Amino acid sequence: MLLSNGHHLAYCTNIHRGETWQETLSALEQFTLPVRNRVCPNKPYAIGLRVSDEASRELAQPQSILHFRRWLERNNCYIFTINGFPFGKFHGERVKEKVYMPDWMSQDRLNYTNRLFDILAQLVPHGVEGSVSTVPGSFKELVKGPEHLRAIRANIFHCLEHIARVSAQTGRNLHLALEPEPLCLLETTNETVLFFDRLKAENHNDARIREHLAVNYDTCHIAVEFETPQDAIARLRKHDVKISKIHLSSALKLFPTAEARAGLAAFADDTYLHQVVARGADGRLSRHRDLNVALTSLQPAADPMSEEWRVHFHIPLHSVATEWMDNTSDHLLGVLDILQQDPRLCSYLEMETYTWEVLPPELKSRSVVDQLVAEYEWCLAQMSARGLA
């Protein structure tokens, strides 16, 4: 939805199943339109669209995209972003590290992302910027040496060349948004700005990098790294890295008491990777590939309150703290505080709690439509309190 001060707010439809285009469109009709009817019934409604590789091939056909454009007009909806992170199936089976594959070493990732931009250019309204969010290069353990890094940078630059052509041909302002994530090639904001600086240096500060490459700032991911919004955003600004979109999301935060460890077992699902970053009393960070790994490898400390864990598990924005579990909404709210001070920082916001199917029962005691509506209500209340909505 378009808010009163020019910001756009959507939720990411990767919360719903759908790998073919027909499945994706059916999910929009079954879930997204009912949400729209409750939160934004009479005004243009933004959809944060997730499109798999298979669905993108079907949607790219002229008749399919014409039909979808008419569907958007008929339902008073519009697109400003496509989630191009998960290439293949994203629900109902083991995803884990497969979500990063194919990564930016691969021609398949480049072809898929270019196709998404071809589609987006035909959907995004005039005057609205369009973005595709994507894998932050690769998963760290898959990058074996300099040749892999060179391949990643080369393919991303080739994508920028394509985006520049499409933008010039259509008159749209389009950008690729790399999404830093725990244990990925681009994990921290420091690693991210170093990557951008290297890419600029290799390509003689080509203007297309500044114009068409950006960051998708996921508040869950950056909070898991124990970065503060003030430091993270200041670092991106200092290195002239554009924030294309802000993912409004929240992670698990806790002290590993016996009660917390027992409660965490319900979050160690077999579908998604839930990286853990632990900070000891001395401030040092240790990183662990998945929640089950952390539970088995990190032995209980004599004083569990001396150590804090942050878990990459997207939980509902309106979740409240329990006796053993808290969340990182303070990071999200810190970003909104900065946005209040500088509304031009980023105009595009997207709620992304894709974990609906694997949430413990106590966190989803309502339908997915009810949960999404509650997230809108929470988010709009926080934005309204800051004059942003």
In the beta sheet, which residues pair with residue 68? Answer: none
Buried b (16+ CB within 10 A) or exposed e, 91-111: beeebbebbbbbbbbbeebbb
Q: What is the phi/psi pair of residue 285, to 5°? A: -105, 140
> CA 149 to CA 70: how far, in whole Å?
42
Q: Can you tell me the distance from the alpha carbon of 173 to that of 214, in angstroms, rounded to the nearest whole number?
A: 12
* Secondary structure of residue 288 in the 3-state scheme: strand
Dihedral angle computed from the Cα positions of residues 15, 329, 192 and 349, in that order, rounded to the nearest 10 degrees: 50
What letter does residue 102 receive in the DSSP assignment? Answer: S
Q: Where are the beta strands (DSSP E) in 219-271?
A: 242-248, 250-254
Element (H, E) at 154: helix 146-170
Residue 118 to residue 174: CA distance in whole angstroms: 10
Report the pLDDT value the prediction gives residue 107, as an integer from 0 to 100.
98
Element (H, E) at 376: helix 368-385
pTM, rounded to two decimals = 0.97
Per-residue pLDDT at 300? 87
- At a CB cut-off of 8 Å and minimum separation 6, what does 370 contact? none
How many degrees, rounded to 5, is the angle at CA 368 between CA 362 and CA 369?
A: 130
Angle among Cα 150, 152, 153 to the nearest 5 degrees reads 65
pLDDT of residue 258: 94
Q: β-pairing, 8-11 with 348-351? A: parallel
213 vs 173: CA distance, rounded Å: 11
**CATH number of 8-250+323-385, picked from 3.20.20.150, 3.50.50.60, 3.40.640.10, 1.10.150.20:** 3.20.20.150
Q: Which residues of the chain have pLDDT under 70?
A: none
pLDDT given at position 366: 83
Domains in the chain: boundaries: 8-250+323-385
**Nearest Cα residue to 60 out of 126, 116, 110, 134:** 116
Distance set, CA 227 to CA 201, 308, 364 (Å): 26, 14, 29
Nearest to 100 by CA among 87, 90, 117, 82: 87
Contact 245, 346 (CB under 8 A): yes
DSSP class of residue 385 equals: H
Which token pair is 8? Answer: 């756009």
Q: On the CB side of 315, how many CA atoms lie within 13 Å of its CA?
A: 26
The per-residue pLDDT for 155 is 98
Gyration radius of the chain's alpha carbons: 20
Exposure on the CB side of residue 13, measured as CA atoms within 13 A: 29
Strands 276-279 and 308-315: antiparallel
Q: Are 319 and 366 in contact (CB under 8 A)?
A: no
Decide if 39 contacts 2 (C-beta within 8 A): no
**Where are the strands (E) in 72-212, listed by range?**
77-83, 130-134, 174-178
d(CA 265, CA 105): 35
Q: How buried is residue 64: exposed, middle or buried, by Cβ count under 10 Å (0-12/13-18/19+)?
A: middle
